[in-house]
Chain A
């Protein structure tokens, strides 16, 4: 992916703090800093991966990009084809409707994300009806067409979700996201809940749909081999911050951030000849309520120095299209994936 490519989504200093009540009577208000100043762009037609461990803020970021949550601060600007730049955080309810036709989402859990009380047809038709994109016969036509494209049988449309296995349910979720023919889809761990033999089917489907409809994906995952397989570029999140973002191969083989290095060393390769040598991170992931000072990763970083605890490193483009936030990114000699 080269930077001459047109930008689809531009994220600027995005923040989302969730309030939590603490203290004896719940009067002391504190915040979970789920996403804490994140900036990046997504190019049209690419798949951008977002990896990180639980609590890193990747899911929240994905939801903010669709304004599923109201952000605490920051901008998300869409450059949709043949349209003016659209800052979705300033949209009115009516404009937001219009925007929904362009950006949709696929969920992790194929069980909880489908309303069990609606038939498959109604689930897939929901975005069409809710955004008033189609009426009457057109709804059925679009639903059938999309369902077929996701390899769902038309006879099954009158069934309810409880008739289906995890893999088939995920196809229903994909059809729902696809039915409006959006430009952009946030895939939030779309294969993590699926069996290995089903994962491949869904990954292939996502890839085929991207080629056919020119889709752009934000692909959130924690399985690094899946990310490596499907993504053009990958961003690594840690404790609400982006720590590194680069083209997939660059990131996997030439990481610039110590946390990325630790992640890469922890991938269990499905090859008994390649034994992994995981880098041990000190301690545990700190609470996002009271993140460490300076660089959020410094208490666990084996290369940390005094500066890291004091100054928050800048998010900078070290080499073309390779972003990192580490004070010592230039001087560290980090090793990438060993396999």
Chain B
């Protein structure tokens, strides 16, 4: 490989970041990230919508959530983000931030 002219070694550092400024930028970025995480955890961003109501229960399983309610287990069907949650999977289905869930609770008569 050939060059039109010799590399200008006196200017070889042009374009290299100033390490002191880089350190401060990195620091600011880290702090911003920590603050954001704080709000995600404590500011209620982990919300699950259940029958239209926003609940701070992301991370719980469907079974754990149902245990806190008065639904009769044998009278319900649970839909999550457009799909039915199989009954056998209530214990392992973890509710995620932003999930939309509908618990259909049947009443008698027909």
Same assembly: no
Interface residue ranges, A against B (CB under 8 Å): none
